[in-house]
């Protein structure tokens, strides 16, 4: 009787042990699966990755999911901000280089902002490389390739403004060209007038010399006339003496 009770108790303990082992196995598998699953970060826990004058602050989740793409995106935003600061300090080549890097790296997400900044650089009045045509191309590219961009209206306004500036500059160049042609014509006429004046001056000199020669000739003629008159008077005197000496 006692042996039978002992066997029942051992069988009960064995069942309990099996159940405990089964639950431990299940718990171990669940723990393993949980350890392999990446930790999810609440959307509310965000941090600012970057910002610039064209858009609001861009936020990225805090924690282990700050991916390489996000890091590069944050660097691109900082480059845009840096490009704006460089333009303000008249460092236009470096500012333009930063914008081109952003345009090449993130053409879809940041291309419109980079192009807008490039247009402002090309159109800056203190930029030695001022180029209204390139500025208008940059703004027009924003209009053509990024119709949903929040910067579309600004690009359109700047594009229209510099298009008008380009038209005015073309008119100014045309007027300046006409003015230069008129100046050249005036200079040619002045040279021609100067040559005529030189010719007239030489003619006047020749006339002066001729007048001097004429005066000399007139004086010579006057001397000759006086001599002739004196000779005539001598001849008359001689004839008078001859008549007186001749007997009647």
Best CA proximity match to 48, nearest among 81, 83, 85, 77: 77
pLDDT at 40: 36
Fold classification of 46-61+69-171 (topology level): 1.25.40
Find all residues with CB under 8 Å of 159, minimum gap 6, and list them: 119, 136, 139, 140, 143
Confidence band, pLDDT 50/70/90 cuts, at residue 161: confident
Of the chain, the end-to-end C-alpha distance in Å amounts to: 233
Q: What is the pLDDT of residues 186-236, one digit of tens each?
A: 999 898 898 988 889 888 888 888 888 888 888 888 888 888 888 888 877
Q: Higher confidence at residue 179 or residue 237?
A: 179
Q: What is the pLDDT of residues 8-65, one digit of tens each?
A: 445 544 555 555 555 454 444 444 344 333 333 343 344 444 444 444 444 444 443 4
Say what angle helices 152-245 and 111-123 make with each other, to 10 degrees. Answer: 20
| Placement of tokens 């980079």 in the chain | 114
Q: In the predicted model, is pLDDT for residue 72 greater than 80?
A: yes
Share of the chain above pLDDT 70, in %: 71
pLDDT at 208: 84
Share of the chain above pLDDT 90, in %: 28
Q: Higher confidence at residue 69 or residue 199?
A: 199
Q: Higher confidence at residue 107 or residue 57?
A: 107
Find all residues with CB under 8 Å of 155, minimum gap 6, and list them: 112, 115, 116, 119, 139, 142, 143, 149
| Placement of tokens 């990755």 in the chain | 49
Spans of all domains in the chain? 46-61+69-171
Give the chain's mean pLDDT: 76
Confidence band, pLDDT 50/70/90 cuts, at residue 103: very high
């Amino acid at each position: 009787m006692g042996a039978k009770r002992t066997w029942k108790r051992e069988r009960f303990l064995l069942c309990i042990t099996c159940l405990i082992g089964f639950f431990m196995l299940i718990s171990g598998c669940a723990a393993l699966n949980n350890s392999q699953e990446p930790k999810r970060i609440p959307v509310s826990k965000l941090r600012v990755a970057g910002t610039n004058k064209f858009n609001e602050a861009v936020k990225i989740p805090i924690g282990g999911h700050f991916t390489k793409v996000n890091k590069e995106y944050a660097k691109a935003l900082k480059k845009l901000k840096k490009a704006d600061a460089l333009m303000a300090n008249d460092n236009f080549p470096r500012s333009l280089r930063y914008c081109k890097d952003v345009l090449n790296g993130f053409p879809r997400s940041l291309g419109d902002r980079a192009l807008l900044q490039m247009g402002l650089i090309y159109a800056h009045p203190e930029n030695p490389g001022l180029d209204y045509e390139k500025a208008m191309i940059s703004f027009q590219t924003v209009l053509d390739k990024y119709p949903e961009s929040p910067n579309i209206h600004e690009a359109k306004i700047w594009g229209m403004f510099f298009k008008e500036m380009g038209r005015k500059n073309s008119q100014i160049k045309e007027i300046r060209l006409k003015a230069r042609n008129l100046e050249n014509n005036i200079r040619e006429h002045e040279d021609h007038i100067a040559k005529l004046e030189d010719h007239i001056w030489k003619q006047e000199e020749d006339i002066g010399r001729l007048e001097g020669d004429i005066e000399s000739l007139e004086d010579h003629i006057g001397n000759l006339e006086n001599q002739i008159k004196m000779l005539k008077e001598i001849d008359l005197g001689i004839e008078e003496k001859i008549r007186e000496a001749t007997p009647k």
